[in-house]
Amino acid sequence: MTSPDTYFKNALLQDGTLNDIIVRDGRIQSIVPAGSGAGAETVDIAGALLVPGFVEGHIHLDTSFWGDKWIPYKPCTDGFDVHERVTFQAQNMAEAAPMDVRARNQLDLCISNGSLQMRSHVMVDGSVGLKSLETILKVREEYRDLIDVQLVAFPQSGILKSHGTPDLLDAAIGLGADLIGGLDPLSFDRDIKGHLDVVFGLAEKHGVDVDIHLHDGSQLGAMTIEEICARTVALGMQGHVAVSHAYGLGDLPRDAAMKIAGLIARSGVSIMTNAPGHHNFPPVALLRAEGVNVFSGSDNIRDSWWPFGDGDMLRRAEIISYRSGFFTDLELTSAFDVVTAGGAKALRLEGYGIAVGAKADFVAIPAAHVPEAVVGVPKPRRVFKGGRLVAENGAVIR
């Protein structure tokens, strides 16, 4: 049955024009100059900037303590050690609120800030088996009318080093995970071929996309990216593979970075960065100039890895700009693109954007234009999913 049209009047679009947007059955039916029409149901956007829902492209719904008690960050005994952090994480999670409660807290946070599309990594390994995934799958189902969530089966304890993980990853896809993840094939599993054989083997077997955590720096990171690109092309998976963090790209001299950027672009591999403050990170402008799709995410929010994060992808665009030295309107808009269109491309979202035929998933922000929104991170916001108001004044409406 067709629902009555909803008129969203006086919406300021990214091109600076004021428009009315007509929505039918959750999709944008038409976009006309403001004042051209009225319908049975009218929502006044009142001149606020209307942008597509943000794409939260990398988050961990299973490990955040947002909304739970404060858990102080515990430093490693000697520098930074992924293995030790995984141990701390297990200790912290044992005394935290139940995972489903914490995942809901985090989803509410993200939706209220305007994220309507998400990719979350969920731990699948010998330590937790499929338990975390089962919990997050149930929570995803509860939120299906509020946000679209892709889940990555994430081998947090390595694939070869954690007993039974290849079979668990295989089972995770059967259970409902959408993508296969990976973790530092060289530094963690010490076997790039063995690790990627499992990741790409399962991707090929199930016809799913790949998103690999890669923290390895400099040449170690670059070598891994080259290998991921080669496998992506060999399997014809261009557009279906992402490398998250890719810190190593930020360590390379400009010439080397440009060379590998060309390879990444030709291979159709997306790069995810959250522009961390404590680490070199991929050169966003250089990558985009070479044709690489860059997207972003909050990554960890108040968990065992760091105490930061607020689930606001507009704030993330500001952080990317701040860390990248983006000052001009064009540069600030490019950071906005990373948290919107870049994410949509990496997640292969259908019907994304403010366009006729697209899903009516949008956010109304009190800003005059995108560059101002990026530096000001203004609130309050109104968030609409399929044309329905799902969050207002920082709270989710059910």
Instruction: Count CB atoms within 10 A of the CB of residue 286.
Output: 17
Q: Could you tell me which stretch among 232-240, 291-299, 313-321, 355-363 binds Zn ion (CB under 5 A)?
A: 291-299
> How do 294-295 and 54-59 pair as beta strands?
unpaired
Q: How far is the CB of 299 from Zn ion (least distance, A)?
A: 5
Q: Could you tell me which stretch among 33-41, 227-235, 280-288, 293-301 binds Zn ion (CB under 5 A)?
A: 293-301
> Which residue lies nearer to Zn ion by CB, 29 or 127?
127
* Sign of the CA dihedral with 151 first, then 155, 159, and 163 last: negative
> Which residue lies nearer to Zn ion by CB, 9 or 213?
213
> Which residue lies nearer to Zn ion by CB, 88 or 384?
88
Segment 294-323, which members bind Zn ion (CB under 5 A)? Answer: 299
| Interface pattern 122-161 for Zn ion (x via CB under 5 A) | ----------------------------------------
Residue 12 bridge partners (DSSP): 18, 49
> Which residue lies nearer to Zn ion by CB, 28 or 153?
153
Q: How far is the CB of 303 from Zn ion (least distance, A)?
A: 10
Measured CA to CA in angstroms, residue 346 lies from 20, 189, 213, 297, 363 at distances of 29, 26, 15, 12, 20
Instruction: Count CB atoms within 10 A of the CB of residue 263.
Output: 17
> Which residue lies nearer to Zn ion by CB, 296 or 321?
296
Q: How far is the CB of 355 from Zn ion (least distance, A)?
A: 31
At 142, the amino acid letter reads E
Return all residues near 351 (Cβ < 8 A) that are at least 6 apart. 27, 357, 358, 359
| Interface pattern 344-373 for Zn ion (x via CB under 5 A) | ------------------------------
> Which residue lies nearer to Zn ion by CB, 178 or 299?
299
Whether the Cβ atoms of residue 109 and residue 379 lie closer than 8 Å to each other: no
> Which residue lies nearer to Zn ion by CB, 184 or 299?
299
Q: How far is the CB of 310 from Zn ion (least distance, A)?
A: 16
With CB atoms as reference, the residue minimizing the distance to Zn ion is 299
The whole-angstrom separation of Cα 36 and Cα 306 is 50
* Helix spans in 143-267 (H): 165-175, 192-206, 218-234, 254-267
Q: How far is the CB of 213 from Zn ion (least distance, A)?
A: 5
The whole-angstrom separation of Cα 375 and Cα 368 is 12
Q: How far is the CB of 367 from Zn ion (least distance, A)?
A: 29
At 328, the amino acid letter reads T
Q: How far is the CB of 58 from Zn ion (least distance, A)?
A: 6
Q: How far is the CB of 244 from Zn ion (least distance, A)?
A: 6
Number of residues located near Zn ion, criterion CB under 5 A:
1
> Which residue lies nearer to Zn ion by CB, 42 or 87?
87
The whole-angstrom separation of Cα 6 and Cα 218 is 52
Return the C-alpha torsion angle 387, 389, 392, 397, nearest 10: -140
Segment 179-238, which members bind Zn ion (CB under 5 A)? Answer: none
Which residues of this protein are in contact with Zn ion, per CB under 5 A? 299
